[in-house]
């Protein structure tokens, strides 16, 4: 069965706000593990 993407919700109401302390340190994780670019 294929999944269905219904909606996306931002962190505390801000779609671009990632729940990390340091974005520069978190970027490799998001790129490698989650496929962000």
Give kind and range of the element (H or E) at residue 33.
helix 23-34
Q: Is residue 17 part of a domain?
A: yes
Please give the structure tokens belonging to residue 4: 């269905």
Q: Is residue 26 part of a domain?
A: yes
17 within 8 A of 11, measured Cβ to Cβ: yes
Q: What pLDDT is attached to residue 34? A: 84
Q: Is residue 27 part of a domain?
A: yes
Q: Is residue 24 part of a domain?
A: yes
As a whole number of angstroms, the distance between CA 20 and CA 2 comes to: 30
Q: Is residue 1 part of a domain?
A: no
pLDDT one-digit tens code per residue, 1-37: 788 878 776 677 777 777 788 989 988 998 999 888 8
Q: What pLDDT is attached to residue 37? A: 80
As a whole number of angstroms, the distance between CA 19 and CA 4 comes to: 25
Range of the domain at 34: 9-37
For the chain, report the end-to-end CA distance as a whole number of angstroms.
Answer: 27
């Amino acid at each position: 069965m294929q999944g269905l993407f219904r909606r996306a919700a931002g962190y505390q109401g801000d779609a671009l706000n990632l729940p990390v302390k340091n974005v520069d340190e978190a970027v490799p994780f998001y790129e490698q593990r989650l496929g962000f670019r």
